[in-house]
Structure 1
């Protein structure tokens, strides 16, 4: 019996009273609604002719960003509420808590039943299926980084839970995982650094029933891009700012209703909230080698005027530095999940594929290559979990995330390459998913922003 069906009625939402009181338990309870809907049975794609990003991928023209919803302005400008830090358990223990394990088991099944079957079609269409986005919303993933007091599902800082969820989703497909997690990155940023006004204005949309498409945009189409030397600028103008520049790797840019844009302000990188439909915003498809299911776009900002209340966080770069680190941590988790998908797939393949009357796994060269994948993957996982654990407790994790990113970028690409090699000629064709995972894994060392824990 699948986990989705096992959560059907038996008490409130089929969960125990403790679980219904717990924030993560409430998130898992949402799966009951998901199981009773037809989302799991429908893995379809919107018609390509109806997708703005797909049409711009073919034709290469720019369009204005969508005129999104009107976010209700709150009246206060005081500092917002920050998520509480988790307390240290006093031991070196990277095992997930009971609640985290419960959440991950649900996301694992979502990845297996929705993301994996729809990944190839989404990669071809350069857009995520509506069903995947709706399922992620049903589970409350956009609010995973938002504290319970602000309408989210977490009582404490949730970098560890976020890393586990990102890893589980990426086992289904990294591109679709990025598309599903992108709105949550914006919500998490507002939860961490937003003023009371910003939180009251925007967070209700991310914790309600109709979550907007949103994107965290740091990367730029620059050779050897450095996230701390941005070409996009923010100039003070009266009581606001004027933004100019081009951002790349913007997830679902044509659909997004809210952007968090990184720009250079007085020589220091800063973050700004920019609503879709603002004058001077244009979006253009930015198709890439990998992550095609995330519908990547370029965002052009030409004289975009925003108010003083659009500044997210501080002006000394502290919030921005943490944003970059949390984003890199998320990419490490995605690399671990995709690497695990490669390992699981090639293990079965080399045991079933026969040559000269025996499975090719009997050849030492093949067996050692699979063993190397498993060893490197475990190292990647441990470094990522350790960095996430320190972030969860509010401790400095710059060193840990730097080590994790270096290892995940280097070994993640090698795992993808070895997966293709182990399949031989089959690794080169789209009949098998390993070629797509290889393309996706190459993004880990290049991407900045987009997702965040």
Structure 2
């Protein structure tokens, strides 16, 4: 399918019936339309406009959660939900993206370059993603990437590889905005992977419709030496319900989220719960961090929050929670690779053009070696991440691969950010250049748990 092909009338995104059957074609076509449109002008990125937003960096806020829409209950309680099959194994070790995946990467990269990056500096300053940019991300189909086609999405098989490629491409524009745009789709993917028929029928129509709710994964907690596999947030059985108590930190767009996937300890095992924002006992406050500020990070407090028995997402033996953590870490690895690539793309021409003592600084061996080392480490990060993603998509055990990828991406990602600042010298310390923001963002990879998954 040509990227320049215009959308046709019919269907939610105006696609022909053949295009709607293509698992990635729908997103590609939608992205293509956005890329050709006057989107950048419409959302005001070419001309800075005044925007009324709460700024947690200056005065903070503390409020109740957003009033949730009424999610229409449906489906048969307890019945297993729809599951997409694992990707067909290629039989050889080949991490080359398929033609459709490469097309998707190309158009998402264009969206990141033309729309996301110009908005990044202001979004970092205000700790909020522009509303128009978030709406544009919905138009291009990001929330339905991991939703089965039979439930209104575009996934015919496990989408871990496609999701990894999309996360990497978006992070080349800005990690914070990438997290903000990917968060709702992460919740939709989680419900697609582990939800019951009733949960899928209740919540997924909202994500596949025109008015997609903000949603967030809430796993991280504000504790010293926090272990994501041993959450302090507790869930206690009380009749046919569960009562949740605890505090979650670094929750993406928590002030506007209408649905949360909350991790809590239930009878000694970590378990996921679906919690609607209208539930009594929820409160949210600003929780700005050093990096990923454009994601609108918040702290979610749960005080005697009562949810029904069917709010449990997946198994209660800890296996679903563990898989969620691994898929989340995989997403953060992809974000690290994308941001690291942005650093490399920025410093390479800089050191060739910047002159000192009558010649480009790239002629200095120490500078050239530092740039080369960034490229080497970045390729190592990418290969490990892709291998873990490919195994996850194929339904294979990827615990070892994602552990290796996260370890490398957390340490080398921070080093790439630091080296990027070093290579710019004094310019690396000022906000005129984006490298200092990328350095702050890359430090989140080893700290953030949850928030996004693929």
**TM-score category (smaller protein):** over 0.9
Q: In structure 1, the residue corresponding to 2:125 is in which secondary structure?
A: helix
Distance 2:397 2:257 in 1: 32
1:27 aligns with 2:27: yes
Give the match for residue 92 of structure 1.
93
Give the match for residue 243 of structure 1.
244
Preserved contact between residue 340 and residue 413 of structure 2 (Cα < 8 Å):
yes
Distance 2:265 2:326 in 1: 18
**C-alpha displacement of 1:100:** 0.5
Q: How does 1:45-124 map to 2 (within 5 A)?
A: 49-51=52-54, 54=55, 56-77=56-77, 78-124=79-125
**C-alpha displacement of 1:228:** 1.1
Give the match for residue 364 of structure 2.
363
Preserved contact between residue 48 and residue 125 of structure 1 (Cα < 8 Å):
no
**C-alpha displacement of 1:257:** 0.4
User: Kindly tell me: are residues 347 and 404 of structure 1, through their superposed partners in 2, closer, same or farther at Cα, counting changes over 3 Å?
Assistant: same
Give the match for residue 226 of structure 1.
227
- In structure 2, list runs of 5 or more residues that go unmatched: none
Q: Deviations over 1:198-254 (max 9, x none)?
A: 000000111111110000000000011101111100000110100000000100111
1:411 aligns with 2:412: yes
What's the TM-score once normalised by structure 1's chain length? 0.95
1:201 aligns with 2:181: no
**C-alpha displacement of 1:35:** 4.5
Q: Deviations over 1:334-376 (max 9, x none)?
A: 0000000000000010011011111110110000000000000
User: Kindly tell me: are residues 352 and 151 of structure 1, through their superposed partners in 2, closer, same or farther at Cα, counting changes over 3 Å?
Assistant: same
**C-alpha displacement of 1:59:** 3.1
Preserved contact between residue 145 and residue 184 of structure 1 (Cα < 8 Å):
yes
Q: How does 1:383-422 map to 2 (within 5 A)?
A: 383-422=384-423
Give the match for residue 333 of structure 1.
334
Distance 2:129 2:375 in 1: 30
User: Kindly tell me: are residues 140 and 444 of structure 1, through their superposed partners in 2, closer, same or farther at Cα, counting changes over 3 Å?
Assistant: same
Distance 2:75 2:372 in 1: 58
**C-alpha displacement of 1:18:** 6.1
Q: In structure 1, the residue corresponding to 2:24 is in which secondary structure?
A: helix
User: Kindly tell me: are residues 318 and 350 of structure 1, through their superposed partners in 2, closer, same or farther at Cα, counting changes over 3 Å?
Assistant: same
Distance 1:75 1:141 in 2: 25
Preserved contact between residue 409 and residue 445 of structure 1 (Cα < 8 Å):
yes
Distance 1:28 1:110 in 2: 11
Q: In structure 1, the residue corresponding to 2:261 is in which secondary structure?
A: strand
- In structure 1, list runs of 5 or more residues that go unmatched: none
1:352 aligns with 2:353: yes
Give the match for residue 450 of structure 1.
451
Q: Deviations over 1:372-397 (max 9, x none)?
A: 00000000000000000000000000
**C-alpha displacement of 1:39:** 2.5
Preserved contact between residue 263 and residue 269 of structure 1 (Cα < 8 Å):
yes
Matched residues, number: 447
**C-alpha displacement of 1:75:** 4.3
What's the TM-score once normalised by structure 2's chain length? 0.95
User: Kindly tell me: are residues 112 and 321 of structure 1, through their superposed partners in 2, closer, same or farther at Cα, counting changes over 3 Å?
Assistant: same
Preserved contact between residue 86 and residue 157 of structure 2 (Cα < 8 Å):
yes
Preserved contact between residue 46 and residue 129 of structure 1 (Cα < 8 Å):
no
Q: Deviations over 1:314-337 (max 9, x none)?
A: 110110000000000000000000
Q: In structure 2, the residue corresponding to 1:222 is in which secondary structure?
A: coil
